[in-house]
Amino acid sequence: MILGFLPVDSFNVIVLAAVFVLVATGLHFTFGMLNVVNLVHGELILIGAYTTLQMQRTTGNVLLGMALAPLVAAAIGVAMERGVLRFLYDRPLDSLLATFGLSVIIRQVVQFIFSPNPQIVRSPIGGSFLLAGFNIPWWRLIIVLVTGGLIIGVIGFLGRSRFGLHARGTVANPRLAETMGINSGFVRAGLFALGSAIAGLAGAMLAPISTLNPQFGLLFLVNSFLVVIIGGKGSLRGLVVAGIVLGGTLAALQFVMSTVLAQILILAIAIIGVRLRPLLGLLRESNRDPGSIATYSDPIYPQNS
Amino acid sequence: MTPLLEVEDLATGYGQTQVLRGVSFSVRPGEVACIMGRNGAGKTTLLRALMGVLPMTGAVRLSGTDISRWPGHRIHATGMVWVPQEDSVFPGLTVRDHLAIALKDRIDEDEGLAAAGELFPVLGQRLGQEAQTLSGGERKMLALAQALIVKPQVVLMDEPTEGVAPVVVQELIPTIAASTQGAGVVLVEQNIDTALALGETAYLIEQGSVVISGTVRDLHDRGIFEQRLAL
């Protein structure tokens, strides 16, 4: 039975793997690097999707909406970070509560403005083509390519740019970084903006392949956290591997069982993955991995002093 | 001569616990002021407060500008740098990364790396090595290089020779002396030999306040250190 489906739908395995990586990449910045249990991540995806919808309505230009979506999400992300979350970096439970509250507010505002009814964002590039007997929808291929490009760009940016260097220093030890001349507040705000922008881009890219409603972001929240945690919090390389494994497995399981059952199995795989990761060492956090974070004991400002 | 650094009635601590109160001293260009005291006297806490890590009351003026409410990165940019006592490397970052962070836009990176290599040749040979894999002495050298290559106005040094092999200390002291000429230095030190080699004036802290001040040589000759530091 599986063999009958695989040749036809194997491209969907690749697409779902890319979707998992795409939605989790923004969370890599806010949760993986900044350590904020960012429950508003789903709503940043939602903002990207509804920005695209709004531009489709007002200008008819979906691509313009997709270009604006990261900017709008980044602006809202920075406002949240500067206005609320920057006071809570040392208080993880409070930041969890704050992001939960912000997510509820954003969802309600979106529902108020756009109604709870399902909406459709049309694909800016429709149609499909045949490749070696596979039917490849253009837009899904573009999602895969954009995700690949995004990952390469993020690795290059964090690994080679001055901001990336300062970000890695700030993430490793914000107080030490500050005394070495790094404006850690600016770096944190920048990282939150980048994470939010990527979440907004993900929402914009994914809106045309699903039905849009105010719960849209929640669809991706849990899987984003699973990918970042299983990949090794703070490790981009691990995130990509975990996204491919979880997304690909979910797509394959959906051929033979219901989506709900498949998602439950994915959760079970995730739990096993977290338990086995230290033994396997496959997704070990690497100090060489740009953006990887190490647990540190703060020598500059001991918490118990 | 106008002081480079003036500290007036400084008080600070951790949360509800006050560690220092009423601390005042000043440092002229080219002067090395030693902050002495027993363990727990508040010497390191003083440097943390000066560098903007801890909240404080009182006034800190750098070249006449009040910097007492400034964040650390702004203090650093103005020319006051800190060599912490504790391990101060970022996990995963190379020696080159550490030096690049210190340099920012102030000096051309190649020039800065060459300066670090001149100060401590071993660092020049290990630019691509992860800093956390350096030995303890090499990490001290890296922390010193980060502070000194930016040509600071004021250097805060927290026991720069602590935990370093005596043979390395013999190398460090002349290097520190040569590379801080013209700058003001606040040196927290418990080692009398290092204080005598580098220091000019000394401030003895007990129970959170400066209780005795004078020249290092005079306090040493009068046996103050032996009496008050239980040496």
Q: What is the per-residue pLDDT across A205-244, written as a single tens digit (0 to 9) for each?
A: 999 999 999 999 998 999 999 999 988 888 899 999 999 9
The nearest alpha carbon in chain B to A290 belongs to B92
> Which one of B17, B82, B97 has the shortest CB-CB distance to A179?
B82
Average pLDDT over residues B13-27: 92
Residue B198 burial (10 A CB sphere; 0-12, 13-18, 19+)? buried
Q: Which two tokens stand for residue A225?
A: 């956290």
**Minimal CA separation from A105 to chain B, in Å:** 33
* Percent over 70 (pLDDT), chain B: 97
> Distance between CA A28 and CA B8 in Å, rounded?
45
Alpha helices, H only, B120-206: 121-125, 136-148, 166-179, 192-198
Question: Which value does ipTM take for this structure?
Answer: 0.85
pLDDT at A2: 36
What's the rounded Cα separation, in Å, for the pair A270 and A267?
A: 5
Contact list in A for residue B88 (CB cut-off 8 A) is: 176, 299-300
Q: Which of A176, A236, A237, A288 to mutate to test the interface with B (most CBs of B within 10 A)?
A: A176
Residues 6+ apart with CB under 8 A from A15: A140, A143, A144, A251
Give the model's pLDDT for residue B15: 86
What's B85's DSSP letter? Answer: S
B43-67 confidence digits (pLDDT tens): 999 999 999 999 999 999 999 999 9
**Residue B72: how many other CB atoms lie within 10 Å:** 26
Q: pTM score > 0.95 for this model?
A: no
- Distance in Å from the first CA to the final CA of chain A: 64
Q: CA of B116 to nearest chain A CA: how many angstroms apart?
A: 16
Across A30-39, A156-165, B186-195, least confident range = B186-195
Q: Contact at 8 Å (CB) between A53 and A206?
A: no
> What are A44-69's pLDDT values in tens digits?
999 999 999 999 999 999 999 999 99
pLDDT band at A305 (very low <50, low <70, confident <90, very high): very low
Flag whether residue A299 sits within 8 Å of chain B, measured between CB atoms: yes
Please give the Cα distance from B122 to B68 (Å, whole number).
Answer: 36
Residue A203: name the closest of A75, A59, A99, A52 by CA: A52
